[in-house]
Structure 1
Amino acid sequence: MAPRGPCPFLFLTPILLAAGLAQIIRPADSYQKFVSEHVDFPKTRPPSGQSYCDHMMRRLSQNTGVCKLTHTFIHAPTSQLRAICTSGGGRCNQYNGCDSIAAYPLTTCLVRSPPRPPSCVYRGIPQTRRIRVACNRGLPVRFLRVL
């Protein structure tokens, strides 16, 4: 004989609703993370005696204890970057990877080898290039690569 008690489906419904809401809310959070990690407009001026990449990478990876090998900063307004996820500003594939039509000013920071945490030293490569981003609901949520 099965034990009597509340139906387990009554408890499952709120969990499924919460998971669904998390998926709805997440794109905005992912967009904000993309902006905070990759967009630097206007371009930051580092403190005297510090290179741009050393300053930005220290800010980005505070207290991680590792040297990130490479990272790209985009020096363009977010309105231009949002356009990549539309037919007017980008070309998207079936996996939501969108290539920008326009080229953007970038700085790619590369760690000098060998990396020595916590004193990571970077060199910067300034360039103006097209980029590929992952889009979700019309917003860029992840930087994929320089084209």
Structure 2
Amino acid sequence: MPCDTIRDKAFVDGTNRLSTKAPSAAFVIKDLYPISTIMIHFAFDSLQIEKAVRHGIELLLKQGINHDRLSFYVLVNFNSTIEQDLRRIAILDEYGVNSFVMVYDKAAAPQKIKHLGARWCNKYQTKKSCKFEDYDPRIRRAKGA
């Protein structure tokens, strides 16, 4: 029961991918947020749910949940183009929430898609230092730079 969990000040790792479309969003805000959490994880796998994702993020931010505590898994290379994948990442960046790219069928994915995830988006400093279009994975930062 959430009240017992809150009263007992339990620690919860919110890694169960919650849906921003579910009616449980109010439950997350009202009952779960007072619990000490590290991150609250969601999935943004298609632009078809953009409106729901935006609404969910805005709802959570409006209730005072810090954007640094929200994280979104972004599935790429699954019924989407790289432009659509980059658009989903840009939407999340608008709100300042974390995005974590997961490549579908990595073995068959184009090299550009592989770079999108592991080498650009999932490395916070790399993503903040340049746009994906300008990213060259062969360039390494010099030591001490």
- Regarding TM over 0.5, the answer is no
Query: Scaled by the length of structure 1, what TM-score is found?
Result: 0.28
The structure carrying a bigger strand percent of its residues is: 1
Query: Scaled by the length of structure 2, what TM-score is found?
Result: 0.29
| CA radius of gyration, larger in | 1
The structure carrying a bigger helix percent of its residues is: 2
Higher RCO, Cα 8 Å, sep 6+: 1
